[in-house]
Amino acid sequence: MLEVILILLILLVWLGWVQPWMPRFITNKQDIPAHQSQRASNLHCRVELTGTDDLSEEAVVFEVKIRGLVSAPSDECEVYVQVLIADVAEDLSEPKPVLSTVRQFQMEDSPAFCFQSHIGKLPNRQTILSNWTTIAQIRANFLRFPRKGKRTLKFVTSVISVAQDQQLACSVATIDYQNNKAGYIDAKENQNRSEILTARLAGVLCRQAGRVNESATAVIIDWISARIRLLTSKDEQAQRCRELEKSLQDSFGACGPKKQPDIDAVCREMAETATIIERYEAMELCLQTAAATGSINQDQIVFLSGLANSLGLDQDKFLAMVQKILPLDIYEKQDVRFILGITDQMSLEQIRRKLSREYRKWNARVTHPDQATRAQAGRMLAIIAEVRAEYAEKTCTV
C-alpha cells in the first residue's frame, strides 16, 4: 500500500513540475528552423518587399531580416551588420553591382550600395537569434539597378566584429523586383546612341550648296574628339571614333527631301531615349555647326525650329541658345520672328507679351561691360521696335 502511495506522489510531482516546461521548450524549438535546431551553425537571411501597393515608388522598401547563430571569438564581442546587393538577373556567375544614389549608403571607393549599422555587443560567444530580426529597411528609390525590367537581386548580409573587422557570420537571400526605370547600363547605352544621333543631326547642317562646309565639319570633329578623350581605354577610343565618324559621314547624304523621314526618325528616337540634357547638348552642337557655316538660309532656320520642336525643348530656352550662338549678321535674310521666338501659334496678345519680355531683357544689357553684348543689345532693341510697330499696325487694322 505504501509503495502505491509513493508511486502516486512521484507521478503528481512529475505532472505538476515537469510538464508545464514542455510547451515552452517545444515552442522555442519551433522558432528555429529544423536544420538549425539539429545543429545551430548558420545565419539565415530573408528579404521582404513592402509598399508595393502604394502608387508612389518612394513607399517601396526592401526589409532585410536575419535569425540564427552568430559565433564570436569571445563573450560581449562588439559587432556591426553589413548588407550588400548584387543584380544576378542575367547571370548568377557574373553579378552586377546595385548602386546607391545616397552617399551615406555607398562604398568608400565606389557608388555601389553598402549598408552598415552598429548593433552593439553579443552577450555570448554562441548567440542565437531565435526570431526574425529586422536589421535594415532600404528604400527602392535610393537604388540604381543595371537595367530596366524584372531584376533578381542578391542580398548578402554579414555580421562583422568591430575590433578585428572579421566576418563572424554571413547569409544570402534573393528576391525578384520589377524596376520601371532605365538602369545605369541602359543609360550608358542610351548616351552612346544619343551621341551617334547627335553627330548625325549636326552633320546635316554641314552641307551648303551641294558641298560639305569644312569649318562646320571641324566643329563636329572637335566635339567628337572631346567625347573620345573621356574614355580611358585606347580600344574604346578607337571604336568610338569609328562609330561617331561613320555617323557623321552618313549624315552628309541625309539632307535632301527624300532623306527627311530618316531625320524625323532620329528625332523621335532621341526624344524617347535621350535625357533632356543630352537633347539640349545636341541642339547646342547643331547651332554651333550652323554658326560655323557663316551663313544661314531659310531652309536651315526651318530645320533648326523643327528640330527644337521634335526634341521637345522649351521654346524660351531654345530662343536663348539661338540668340547666344547665332550672330545677327549670319542670316541670309533676317527672320525677326525666329530671332525673337515668335511662332504662328501665338495670338496677338501673346506676341505683345513676348515682345515686352524681350525688350526688358535686352534693355537691361545696354550697359553691359562687354562691348559685343552692348552692341547686340542695341540691335535687338531696334528689331523689337520694328516688330512692335508692325504688329501695332495690324492691331489698328483689325
Indicate which CATH number applies to the domain containing 164.
Answer: 2.60.40
Arithmetic mean of pLDDT, 34-50: 66
Helices (H), 158-233: 184-204, 214-229
* Structural domain ending residue among the three candidates 150, 181, 212: 181
User: 362 in a domain, yes or no?
Assistant: yes
Between residues 398 and 239, the one the model is more confident about: 239
| Residue numbers of the domain that contains 383 | 348-387
Q: Do residues 54 and 163 share a domain?
A: yes
- pLDDT of amino acid 171: 95
pLDDT at 144 over 60: yes
- pLDDT of amino acid 18: 35
* pLDDT tens digit sequence for 43-90: 999 999 988 776 566 789 999 999 999 999 999 999 999 999 999 998
* Structural domain ending residue among the three candidates 181, 200, 225: 181
Contact 196, 243 (CB under 8 A): yes
Arithmetic mean of pLDDT, 12-33: 33
Arithmetic mean of pLDDT, 302-329: 94
Q: Do residues 73 and 143 share a domain?
A: yes
Mean pLDDT of the chain: 85
- pLDDT of amino acid 232: 86
pLDDT at 24 over 50: no
CATH number of residue 268's parent domain: 1.10.3680
* Residue carrying the nine cell digits 547627335: 198
Q: Do residues 302 and 383 share a domain?
A: no
* pLDDT tens digit sequence for 326-369: 999 999 998 999 999 998 888 989 999 999 999 999 999 999 99
pLDDT at 34 over 50: no
Distance, in Å, from the CA atom of 169 to the CA atom of 186, rounded to the nearest integer, reads: 35
Q: Do residues 269 and 166 share a domain?
A: no
* pLDDT tens digit sequence for 269-279: 999 889 999 99
Q: Please give the share of the chain, as a percent, with pLDDT higher than 70.
A: 84
Between residues 92 and 165, the one the model is more confident about: 165
375's grid cell: 552692341
Report residue 29's pLDDT band, with 50, 70 and 90 as the boundaries: very low
Q: Do residues 282 and 368 share a domain?
A: no
Q: Do residues 151 and 200 share a domain?
A: no
Distance, in Å, from the CA atom of 290 to the CA atom of 296, rounded to the nearest integer, reads: 7
User: 19 in a domain, yes or no?
Assistant: no
- pLDDT of amino acid 393: 67
User: 17 in a domain, yes or no?
Assistant: no
* Structural domain ending residue among the three candidates 295, 327, 359: 327
pLDDT at 262 over 90: no
Q: Do residues 206 and 275 share a domain?
A: yes
User: 38 in a domain, yes or no?
Assistant: no
Distance, in Å, from the CA atom of 213 to the CA atom of 252, rounded to the nearest integer, reads: 10
Distance, in Å, from the CA atom of 12 to the CA atom of 4, rounded to the nearest integer, reads: 12
User: 5 in a domain, yes or no?
Assistant: no
Q: Do residues 188 and 171 share a domain?
A: no
User: 30 in a domain, yes or no?
Assistant: no
Q: Do residues 244 and 158 share a domain?
A: no
Distance, in Å, from the CA atom of 120 to the CA atom of 105, rounded to the nearest integer, reads: 20
Q: Do residues 208 and 295 share a domain?
A: yes
- Residue in 277, 280, 386, 266 with CA at minimum distance from that of residue 336: 386
Q: Do residues 319 and 231 share a domain?
A: yes
User: 247 in a domain, yes or no?
Assistant: yes
Arithmetic mean of pLDDT, 285-308: 94
Report residue 136's pLDDT band, with 50, 70 and 90 as the boundaries: very high
Q: Do residues 307 and 362 share a domain?
A: no
Residue 95 dihedral angles phi and psi, to the nearest 5°: -65, 145
- Residue in 100, 96, 102 with CA at minimum distance from that of residue 146: 96
Arithmetic mean of pLDDT, 293-319: 93
User: 340 in a domain, yes or no?
Assistant: no
- Provide the 8-state DSSP code for 162: T
Please tell me the total count of domains within the chain.
3
